[in-house]
């Protein structure tokens, strides 16, 4: 049975899994879903409605960290974790912190501002799905925005808190990358992959499968803050550029 990845094109957690699959050269069938409408599809596979979800033979794995565990177990080359137990533990600790802090913060901050620009965010939400989904989102955008803000607790205050959390995380990452090219040991690991994937929406890399908006179209507070963080994001851009393998044709 072919490997299927159920995902949102816009999701940075899904990008984390796409990157791992491509890095390992694993052929898979992408199943791009529309936020909201995805619930029925995903709940046929698992109890929770979140993505990414990987389906392989009779196995269904949900969540980016669990999927990376599965990939390293079943497709071990190249490995995403060091063999040294201490370094392995440090890499997993970085990943857990990034998943629990950076991922939600990037999502909350970006959506807070992008949802204020329906014309910008609609093509990103509907990316890689049938063309008519753009019209469906536009027709129901007010309701969709309300649901997303309520479900993810997105508002002015949480956006500020998310911004502060990202700034601290970027400072910690910058400190680590000043000492070494990698977060753990002397080789690229899932810690680096997670850091670059989860912060990718802030530097808008080309391989990411969404139509990024032009910088001058972003809301001014977001544009100004991103300009301030340009230097802090450079190590992550470098990792993305050097290690983000394109999906095999």
Name the more confident of 2 and 233.
233
CA geometry: angle at 182 spanning 180 and 185, to 5°?
85
Q: What are phi and psi of 11, to 5 degrees?
A: -70, 130
Res 229: pLDDT = 97
Kindly tell me if the per-residue pLDDT of 247 is higher than 70.
no
Asked whether the beta carbons of 52 and 6 are under 8 A apart, the reply is: yes
Look at residue 249 in the predicted model and tell me its pLDDT.
Answer: 42
Residue of 107, 237, 223 whose CA lies nearest to 173: 237
pLDDT (tens digit per residue) in 192-224: 999 999 999 999 999 899 999 999 999 999 999
> What's the pLDDT band for 248 if we cut at 50, 70, 90?
very low
Percent of the chain having pLDDT more than 90?
Answer: 91
4's enclosing H/E stretch is: strand 4-7
Whether 116 shows a pLDDT value over 70: the answer reads yes
Assign 246 a pLDDT band (cuts: 50, 70, 90). Answer: low
Residue 1, pLDDT score:
59
Cα–Cα distance for residue pair 73/57, rounded to 1 Å: 15
Residue 212: predicted pLDDT: 96
What's residue 117's pLDDT? 96
Residue identified by tokens 């190249």 is 78
Tens digit of pLDDT for each residue in 152-175? 999 999 999 999 999 999 999 999
* Torsion sign, CA atoms 204, 105, 95, 41: negative
SS3 143: helix
- Check pLDDT > 70 for residue 232: yes
**Prior bond of 52 cis (ω within 30°):** yes
Cα 119 to Cα 62: distance, rounded to the nearest angstrom? 31
Asked if residue 102 lies in contact with residue 90, where contact means CB atoms within 8 angstroms, the answer is no
Confidence check: pLDDT of 101 > 90: yes
Q: Which two tokens stand for residue 122?
A: 């609609």
Rounded to an integer, the average pLDDT of 126-132 is 96
Contact indicator for 248, 25 with CB cutoff of 8 Å:
yes
What are the pLDDT digits (tens) for 31-55?
Answer: 999 988 888 889 989 988 899 999 9
- Taken in order of first residue, the domains within the chain and their CATH numbers are 4-74 (3.40.30.10), 85-243 (1.20.1050.10)
What span, in angstroms and rounded, lies between the C-alpha atoms of 12 and 65? 13
Residues 6+ apart with CB under 8 A from 154: 108, 111, 112, 115, 148
What is the residue-averaged pLDDT of the chain?
95
Confirm if 147 and 36 have CB atoms less than 8 A apart: yes
């Amino acid at each position: 049975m072919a490997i299927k990845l159920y995902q949102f094109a816009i999701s940075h957690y899904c990008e984390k899994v796409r990157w791992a699959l491509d890095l390992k050269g694993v052929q898979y069938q992408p199943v791009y879903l529309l936020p909201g409408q995805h619930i029925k599809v995903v709940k046929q596979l698992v109890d929770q409605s979140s993505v990414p979800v990987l389906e392989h033979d009779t196995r269904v794995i949900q969540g980016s960290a669990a999927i990376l565990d599965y990939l390293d177990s079943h497709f071990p080359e190249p490995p995403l974790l060091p063999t040294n137990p201490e370094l392995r533990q440090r890499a997993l600790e970085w990943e857990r912190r990034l998943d629990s802090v950076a991922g939600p913060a990037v999502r909350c901050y970006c959506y807070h501002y992008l949802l204020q620009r329906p014309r910008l965010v609609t093509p990103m939400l509907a990316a890689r799905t049938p063309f008519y989904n753009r019209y469906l989102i536009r027709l129901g955008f007010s309701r969709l925005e309300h649901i997303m803000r309520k479900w993810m607790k997105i508002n002015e205050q949480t956006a500020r808190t998310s911004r502060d959390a990202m700034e601290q995380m970027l400072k910690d990452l910058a400190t680590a990358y000043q000492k070494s090219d990698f977060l753990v040991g002397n080789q690229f690991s899932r810690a680096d992959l997670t850091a670059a994937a989860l912060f990718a929406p802030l530097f808008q890399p080309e391989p990411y499968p969404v139509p990024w908006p032009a910088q001058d179209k972003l809301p001014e507070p977001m544009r100004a803050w991103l300009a301030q963080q340009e230097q802090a994001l450079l190590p992550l851009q470098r990792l993305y550029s050097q290690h983000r393998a394109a999906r095999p044709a």
